[in-house]
Amino acid sequence: MPTKNRLPLPSVTAALILKRTKLRPRLGIVLGSGFGAVARAISVEHEFAYRDLPGFPVGTVPGHAGRLIIGEWHGVAVALLAGRAHYYEGFELAESTFPTRVLAALGVDTLLLTNAAGGINARFHVGDFMALTDHINLIGTNPLRGPEPEGLNRFVDLTAAYDAPLRKQLKTAARKAGVKCHEGVYIAVSGPSFETPAEIRAFRTLGADAVGMSTVPETIVARQCGLKVAAVSCITNAAAGLGGKGQVVSHLDVLELARQREDVATRMVGEFVRQQV
């Protein structure tokens, strides 16, 4: 695992990628649990294993393969990150968000982040989706901690971290795909243990609608790089304590529900991409 100060310049890795493809994607997509099928829907122009890209984190979670795919979908050039490295795996946030910086260096100006999350809002049902309106960072650290990258502001404004017009496009996409898409606040925790019922009650009081272990670091870095950000969660389970008597929150159940929603999730993301021409 590389350490923070040994990371290459994102522009160096980006140059390596751009040498191998003619496409110049302006849209980046990060695939979380439940969105993996998107990688099979796009027509691939070039594919890179993370291990061949300097600075890219090689994750350890099954189902997070670690490939950067450059391709076309509905006539839109896209850069797809299939597989993300999580803080709970032991990566520093500067490491796990390095691919986001590379997307920006490639020329991407719009980023769609996807994830699986536990539902806190009582109106959410398992299998629904949620477009993020805002987030609460409870990971306990920040990806911008450390030296200020040259030419970038470290005191990033997050008052409108999630782009409102893009969120509207997500809602349109959900309608076209025939899926329920709420709006709400995502609270990010470090994991890897799931939450206690007391934590979930506290998060609800804090104003959170869904809880997960990703996305927020990428949003912060993307905003520092000037990208417009949209993010969507697949609600894979009721958060701890909200699933009724005898509930257990299990990673296997999260993956199983995510798998069941992959097809509709892919249709929804496709309808979002169609609006980016």
Contacts to ligand HPA by CB under 6 A: 116-118, 194-195, 211-213, 236-237, 239, 249, 254
3-state secondary structure (DSSP) of residue 197: helix
| 171 close to 181: Cβ distance less than 8 angstroms | yes
* Token pair 């005191």 in the structure block, residue: 155
> Which residues are 117's β-sheet partners?
235
CB of 17 or CB of 120, closer to ligand HPA? 120
What's the Cα-to-Cα distance from 51 to each of 18, 69, 105, rounded to whole Å?
A: 17, 13, 19
| 13 close to 102: Cβ distance less than 8 angstroms | yes
Least separation in angstroms between residue 230's CB and ligand HPA is 19
CB of 85 or CB of 211, closer to ligand HPA? 211
> Which residues are 26's β-sheet partners?
none
Closest CB to ligand HPA: residue number: 118
What's the Cα-to-Cα distance from 40 to each of 44, 130, 182, 263, rounded to whole Å?
A: 9, 23, 26, 11
Least separation in angstroms between residue 254's CB and ligand HPA is 5
CB of 213 or CB of 220, closer to ligand HPA? 213
CB of 77 or CB of 117, closer to ligand HPA? 117
CB of 106 or CB of 189, closer to ligand HPA? 189
Least separation in angstroms between residue 249's CB and ligand HPA is 5
Least separation in angstroms between residue 210's CB and ligand HPA is 8
Least separation in angstroms between residue 45's CB and ligand HPA is 31
